[in-house]
Chains A and B, each alone.
Chain A
Amino acid sequence: MNKKNFTNKLYYLWLYYKWPLLAGLVALFVAVYSLAAVFTKKETVLSVMLIDCHTDVTPERMEADFLLDGGFDPGRQQAEFVTNLLFSDAESGSYTMTSLSRFLADIGSEKLDVCAMLEEDFLKYDNSETWMDLSSVMEAELLDKLEAFLVKKDGRVIGIYTDGLPVLQGYGCYGNPDSRGILGVIYNTPHREAAEKYLRFAAGDGLQ
């Protein structure tokens, strides 16, 4: 008798409530997936955006190279590299706008550490106080080594020309000699030490 009531109840539920049940299942799946993602989340040690860089190297490879060099554990840590954003003269203004939105959103959520873009844009963004003074991030010897490629403004070191960063050159980033790229650190970066490690790595002075 009890079994009959139970199966009847189930059948009744399915008959009348199948859509909310289905939606509930979907919501449950997404929730569980997200929870799992939260718990298995690798700690993000660095977030880098290379805008307008036109490289064929995959972000995964860049991440692997940096993690190895910086002595991080790829099993529990990760570095985000975004290379598909376009700001300048994109054949679609819509895509530019989306890239810009992504850029601003990441800065707004204090997620972005290092960023490189074309010279014209870089200088424009300095008017909005985007870049951190690198002399407070890099050690003196590194500053001296890159002296020829530093971008200075009002006494602050705001960026480094990518021509002076062998690792980026090796990836083929910013290969066009007519429009140089500049790399800088975002003013509100949450990972200063990691950013500094990246600058050293990119300059070819990696730890390894």
Chain B
Amino acid sequence: MAFGKKKDDREKEQYLKLTPKTILLYLVIILFCVIVISPLVIVFSSSLRSPENQTSPLALFIEFTGASYVRAFSNMNYPAELLNSIMTTAGSVLIIVIFSTMAAYPIGRIKTKLARFLYFFFISGLIIPSQMVIVPIAQTLNRLGVPNTRFTPMIMFITCSLPFSVFLFSGFMKGVPVEIEESAYIDGASLGKRFWSVVFPLLQPAIVSCVITQGLWIWNDYFYPMVFITKKAQYSLPVGMLQFLGDKENPAQWNILFAACVLCALPLIVIFLALQKQFVNGIAAGAVKG
């Protein structure tokens, strides 16, 4: 699923020479990364302790055992929940991209008052946080007879993501020159062909941004799954992870929770690292060269 076309004759990227200015640049970025990562070190070090170890999380790296990971893995039924998360996230993101690019097409191109109204109409959906409307939403879903399956939260993931995505794509769409579409029209391309083969590929940088941002919050979201899913077998990863929380009487088992947290973020990290190449290719190939 390579986003960018592989150009055989693409010249190898030339890196900046190591002038003092460049070295300074490297130092800045390295220092920045260190500062950014440091709080997360607590997560990693705590996850490597055994579940019973109650010393403060700040005592870093005092123990190295995989016991917490094992507990987290088995208790959460990781493979099943991982599959649920993957299916839900991938499915939602796919539909979001399709629906919102389609919706952004008339909004970004037609210049009437109606189109402008629709633009603001979608954006206004951003303002409302999901927690306030969850009760009417649950009632609506119930009235429509939607069963409580593991895919039910997908409906809400897509709906909540539409405002942002439509906003993003219609903004980007305005940057795509109309000449391309006009020449396709003159060449006799139908509306569908004009959209899917001409406009859609040009939206790649925006699509990548959309996939990353939306995919991320959908993966980590526990709110909709917790409201709509009951059976443990249908849990997604974040829900499974939060089962280790507790309260004053049964305190949360933080070591296991951190291990679960790492396990939950791991697929994301893997995907992100693996797709770095695609990422660069995709964005660069999608760039509109004048």
What 1/0 flags go to A19-50 for Cβ under 8 Å of B?
Answer: 11011001101100110011001000000000
Q: Within 8 Å CB of A102, what residues of B?
A: 226-227
Contact indicator A101/B245 (Cβ below 8 Å): no
The reply on A7 being an interface residue by CB < 8 A is no
- Most interface-central of B149, B154, B230 (chain A CB within 10 A): B230
Question: What is the 8 Å Cβ interface bit string for chain A, positions 46-87, against chain B (1 contact, 0 not)?
Answer: 000000101000111000000000000000000010101010
Chain B residues near A89 (CB, 8 Å)?
247-248
**Measured CA separation A154–B256 after assembly (Å):** 46
**A23, A58, A108: the one within 8 Å of B138 (CB):** A108
A interface residues, tally (CB under 8 Å): 44
A141 within 8 A of B: no
Identify whether the interface residues of A are mostly helix, strand, loop, or mixed.
Answer: helix
Q: Which residue of B lies closest to A91 (CB)?
A: B252
User: Within the complex, which residue of B131, B232, B249 is in contact with A101, where a contact is CB–CB below 8 Å?
Assistant: B131
A:82-138 near B, CB below 8 Å? 82, 84, 86, 88-92, 95, 97-99, 101-102, 104-106, 108-111
Complex Cα spacing A108 to B223, Å: 17
Q: Contact between B193 and A109 (Cβ–Cβ < 8 Å)? A: no
On whether the beta carbons of B232 and A59 are closer than 8 Å, the reply is: yes
> Which of A22, A29, A90, A101 has the largest number of chain B CB atoms within 10 A?
A101
Chain A residues lying within 8 Å of B227, measured Cβ to Cβ, are 98, 101-102, 105
Contact of A23 among B95, B134, B192 (CB under 8 A): B95
**Interface size class for chain B?**
35 or more
Q: Which of A16, A34, A52 contacts B146 (CB 8 A)?
A: A34
Contacts of B98 on A, CB cut-off 8 Å? 19-20, 23
- Does A6 make an interface contact (CB < 8 A)? no
Partner pick for A82 among B137, B192, B230, B245, CB 8 A cutoff:
B230
Chain B residues, CB < 8 A from A52: 247
Which chain B positions have C-beta within 8 A of A60?
A: 232
Would B247 and A86 count as touching, CB distance under 8 A? yes
Query: CB-CB contacts of B93-119 with A at 8 A, as 1s and 0s?
Result: 011011000000000000000000000
18 contacts between A and B (CB under 8 A): A23-B94, A27-B95, A29-B91, A33-B149, A34-B146, A34-B151, A52-B247, A91-B246, A92-B245, A101-B131, A101-B135, A101-B223, A105-B134, A105-B135, A105-B137, A105-B139, A106-B138, A108-B138
Known: A91-B245, A92-B245. 13 other contacts (CB 8 A): A19-B196, A41-B147, A54-B250, A60-B232, A91-B251, A98-B223, A101-B135, A101-B223, A105-B138, A106-B138, A108-B135, A109-B142, A176-B249
Give chain A's interface residues, CB within 8 Å of chain B: 16-17, 19-20, 22-23, 26-27, 29-30, 33-34, 37-38, 41, 52, 54, 58-60, 80, 82, 84, 86, 88-92, 95, 97-99, 101-102, 104-106, 108-111, 176, 179
